Chains A and B, each alone.
Chain A
């Protein structure tokens, strides 16, 4: 079954049983996705990631209320059961994901999440993805390769009357365990999908085919490990079925066959996806750059504005603005009540701090390793303890040999950071530019997510590997300068810590290009280093 068939089948199954939660469709917008969405129930309502609570849950329609002089309520998108489409699902905030998750748990809605993420770590919030039974990836499909006709069938038998062999519960659970799926939602989805499939095909009992398809559809994308093919057991032939009427039944289906069905669907890049899943973590609040918003944070003076995108009204300021006009308005309308026009409305403004992300970019090359790697590690550990107190996020990039590696995507789990850091080996050349590129990528990604990144580069500055991986000292320096200009243009705060035995002039130059704080640490112990860094970061 190719991914197009999967997608259309999944749509049909969700239409039959909304309890399946829904589908994550990973694809950029394009003809393939449009064609799939044309199959969705036209009554489905669309959400966007920045949707406000009023639009979701309903609330007071202020403009209409003022106009008519009596309360006009608006209905929210979640007020009626039905299918929802979430566009740009990878941009949905944790708060929105939590609300939708609660709505899905109530069992009234199904959700089609359109995940347009381009990078592996841009994806739907894990909490929400967990509650959707299916995941299909259409990004590799071309519209030219699709068959001309799509068939959409409706359920031909009643879902509630479908029976299943109780033994299949054992099978489903065993397979989920073999695939390393911890969550118990997964096997429940498998069962539901199998039943919906039977309903779709007009059967009154779940067959082995249904089960096989259901396993492939619901389990493959959740797998966290590739199951080992079990050694064949020669002495265990499938038991003879006595019951002739049951020969289409599922009990005679060996687990291995089901597992094969799933294995066939396992994505090739399973390991990459696992790494990406780790990066996809929720976030709360900490300290970082201030940004102005209209929902939370420290209050600022209110000002005239429209009540849109979740802004909150400042009642006192609004009334104050309306007060001088009351006599005129009463004469004009002849009504003797308080008269407020939309133009009087003042909205509140708040200043909010965004989270800070510290990206440690550590030089693990041979020249560093000899002298200073241990010290640098110690300093990072001390900074981590501080980051914990300030609820900062941290990421860890190490570079050595010919390339840089993101050892730890942005996280708040300090235990993990420490573990990765301790395991970091030293040796090899110094691809400084590559390290800075990885740090830059992380920093821009963090900015897009509303974090405030700070890059701390710990190196002895003897860059000798250029970006293309060749050993060319001159080109390496030029590359590093170029990335430095990129970082500066991106307005990313940086900090350069010279861990060499003697201060390196080239590194000071680099720091100037970066407009970064330069800290030469010829004989620093970890503690002093961390103090200087903390000062430089403005704690």
Chain B
């Protein structure tokens, strides 16, 4: 089972799928956080995301997937610098990965056998210009979280260890999933995710049967199933590309900006990242829907996923933050 389950074949979970599509349209939105119970298709959706992403142009063999030959770091020591199309990298960051696996470290093999001081790039290098996926993100060790925060903020990975002094670009979109019952996520890391969605198992029998049917077909009739759904995936991919183009032409009026600011103010979200993300997500959503101008309806549609995780958290508040956002949206936008 080398091919992941196709994205378009995922039943229901519309909000999660929408959030992933939005971040594929505009990666600067900054990733998706998926929180939900076990067995709700979180991991499946993230692994399927890779197939949706259009290929990127990069120098062949470059450890940081540089676009142009001039950007290839000198420590990579590439002989030829030819560009090729490669799938957008989606890199798994396993729990309990050590610091040097994440940032990169001295290449021990080379050091010991050849006596060379060489840099062995880590996961952050491979994730450059792509996605970094962390399953069970709320269980990630704190020192790795600190490291990720720092890199995500600066877009650059700095390695100063074992006599190495290396910096390389590390711009990636964070995608995380987790089960909130198992632990909470630090607000600083929460803020790094552009959008957040909460998923639950579908409650209605027909939907559940659909899920089982498709999974069964995926496992037992793989060829026909993939043929059918890969076509759908390709259609979504084309639509994402169209939307990316449309994004530039999209008009944003001052009154919408005003709405967005007012909404964030009413919710008391920290900083300006909330406004920016909400605006970007709304624009991506409008482009996805083929609309030429940004309207309140777009803002309203994406407000919960863009703001839910940015509210100043009251640890003892029992109501979900999603409902708080929805309520405020009703009040502000009418």
Q: Mark B142-158, 1 if CB is under 8 A from A, else 0.
A: 11000000000000000
Q: Which residues of chain B have a CB within 8 Å of any CB of chain A?
A: 1, 37-41, 43, 92, 94-96, 98-100, 106, 108-109, 111-113, 115, 135-136, 138-143, 162-163, 179, 181-184, 186, 200-203, 205, 208-209, 211-213, 215-216, 219-220, 315-318
**Do residues A315 and B106 form an inter-chain contact, with CB atoms below 8 A?**
yes
Residue of B112, B139, B201, B211 near A94 (CB, 8 A) is B139
A-B residue pairs in contact (CB < 8 Å), sample of 7: A95-B96, A98-B136, A99-B94, A99-B95, A177-B205, A285-B143, A296-B99
Interface residues on A, range: 35 or more
Instruction: Rank and list the top 3 A-B pairs by shortest CB-CB distance, nearest first.
Output: A183-B39, A95-B96, A282-B182
Residues of B with C-beta under 8 A to A282: 136, 139, 179, 182-183
CA distance A538 to B140 in the complex (A): 26
CB of B134, distance to nearest CB on chain A (Å): 10
**Do residues A107 and B1 form an inter-chain contact, with CB atoms below 8 A?**
yes
Beyond A98-B95, A284-B142, 17 additional pairs, beta carbon < 8 A = A65-B112, A70-B113, A71-B109, A94-B95, A102-B135, A127-B179, A173-B208, A174-B205, A182-B200, A183-B38, A184-B202, A185-B39, A282-B136, A282-B183, A285-B143, A296-B98, A418-B316
**Do residues B162 and A98 form an inter-chain contact, with CB atoms below 8 A?**
no
Known contacts A169-B209, A285-B141; is-contact A98 B37 (Cβ 8 Å): no
Residues of A with C-beta under 8 A to B108: 60, 62, 313, 315
CB of A268, distance to nearest CB on chain B (Å): 25
CB of B15, distance to nearest CB on chain A (Å): 17
CA distance A141 to B163 in the complex (A): 60
A8 contacts B by Cβ under 8 Å: no
Q: Which of A42-50, A132-140, A236-244, A381-389 contacts B (4 or more CB under 8 A)?
A: A381-389
A80 contacts B by Cβ under 8 Å: no
A283 contacts B by Cβ under 8 Å: yes
For window 93-141 of A, CB contacts with B under 8 Å fall at 93-96, 98-99, 102, 105-107, 126-127, 130
| A contact patch SS | helix
CA distance A385 to B184 in the complex (A): 13
A281 contacts B by Cβ under 8 Å: yes
Which residue of chain A has its CB nearest to the CB of B94?
A99
CA distance A296 to B144 in the complex (A): 10
**Do residues A315 and B316 form an inter-chain contact, with CB atoms below 8 A?**
no
**Do residues B136 and A184 form an inter-chain contact, with CB atoms below 8 A?**
no
**Do residues A169 and B112 form an inter-chain contact, with CB atoms below 8 A?**
no
Residue of B40, B115, B317 near A184 (CB, 8 A) is B40
For window 341-378 of A, CB contacts with B under 8 Å fall at none
A26 contacts B by Cβ under 8 Å: no
Residue of A65, A130, A187, A415 near B113 (CB, 8 A) is A65
